[in-house]
């Protein structure tokens, strides 16, 4: 049974002194989803793209035996094993044992092939194990408006490419297709609790404020996952 009392009230920027490099509250939202799942005693977890190790530390506080992968393993500071590896390469059979849980928080958008990545994640899981992936929501209403103006999705303009390495927007319908192709079950698609950041630019933002009737006419026509800045995909093998 997982320790439900172990979560602490840390700031959005750190957890137990370890830096968090995600959207606001995303780690809390992810751990909330994980806590609602059933796991055996002493469950194992693989944290991919682990960064400094803040989420690995959260998982450890919840009773998981954690193994981490981070391209630059020197960044990782949590007290568990971390391997330096390029997740664009095959990694599904890299470990001797399979895991009850695989997590990849804001990682898939940095990789060149979503299908290859998810296939390897599933290979690393035990039967009926869970995979939790997050990625910027390119389908959000704000992202669509930005695309109309700039031809780029939210979090995927040139500065995001240069500063964050965001190279691959991922869509909910795409994840559904991949899960179907690989024989996995997409249990749910959630979004984080933080408010969409205002990245429209002052000129367009002011124009929208002056044309609320135009925006209100567009919004109801938008299908798909138009709410939320980051999508959380919960998948079962």
Q: Which residue blocks in 48-167 are alpha helix, DSSP H?
A: 54-61, 114-123, 141-150, 158-164
> Are 46 and 103 contacting, i.e. CB atoms less than 8 angstroms apart?
yes
Residue 42 — left, alpha, or beta (φ > 0 → left; ψ -120 to 50 → alpha)? Answer: left
**Of 92 and 1, the one with more pLDDT:** 92
Can you name the residues that pair with 96 across neighbouring β-strands?
A: none
Q: Band the pLDDT of 148: cuts 50, 70, 90.
A: confident
DSSP output for 34-48: HHTS---SS-EEEEE
Confidence label for 206 from pLDDT (cuts 50, 70 and 90): low
pLDDT on residue 214: 53
Domains (range + CATH), the chain: 14-236 (3.40.50.150)
pTM here is 0.86
3-class secondary-structure state, position 96: coil
Q: Give tens-digit pLDDT for 2-21.
A: 443 333 344 468 888 878 88
Give yes or no for residue 218 having a pLDDT over 80: no
What is the average pLDDT value for the chain, to the nearest integer?
87
What pLDDT does residue 18 have? Answer: 76
Cα separation, 11 vs 19, in Å, equals 10
**pLDDT tens column, 51-69:** 999 999 999 999 999 999 9
How does strand 65-69 pair with strand 81-83?
Answer: parallel
According to the model, what pLDDT value does residue 201 have?
A: 52
Query: Does the pLDDT of residue 216 top 80, yes or no?
Result: no
3-state helix, strand, coil in the chain (%, to 5): 35, 20, 45
Separation CA 201–CA 195 (nearest Å): 16
């Amino acid at each position: 049974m997982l320790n439900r009392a172990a979560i602490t009230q840390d700031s959005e920027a750190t957890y137990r002194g370890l830096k968090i490099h995600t959207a606001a509250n995303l780690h809390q939202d992810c751990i909330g989803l994980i806590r609602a799942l059933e796991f055996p005693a002493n469950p194992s977890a693989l944290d991919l793209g682990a960064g400094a190790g803040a989420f690995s530390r959260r998982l450890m506080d919840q009773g998981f035996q954690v193994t981490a992968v981070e391209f630059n393993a020197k960044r990782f500071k949590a007290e568990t094993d971390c391997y330096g590896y390029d997740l664009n390469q095959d990694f599904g059979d890299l470990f001797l044992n399979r895991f009850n849980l695989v997590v990849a928080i804001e990682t898939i958008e940095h990789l060149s092939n979503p299908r290859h990545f998810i296939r390897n994640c599933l290979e690393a899981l035990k039967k009926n194990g869970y995979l939790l992936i997050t990625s910027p929501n390119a389908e959000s209403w704000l992202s669509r408006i930005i695309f109309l103006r700039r031809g780029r999705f939210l979090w995927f303009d040139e500065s995001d490419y240069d500063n964050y390495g965001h190279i691959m927007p991922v869509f909910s319908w795409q994840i559904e297709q991949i899960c179907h192709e690989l024989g996995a079950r997409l249990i749910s698609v959630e979004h984080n609790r933080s408010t969409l950041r205002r990245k429209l630019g002052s000129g367009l933002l002011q124009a929208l404020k002056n044309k609320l009737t135009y925006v209100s006419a567009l919004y109801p026509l938008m299908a798909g996952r138009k709410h939320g800045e980051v999508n959380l995909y919960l998948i079962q093998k």
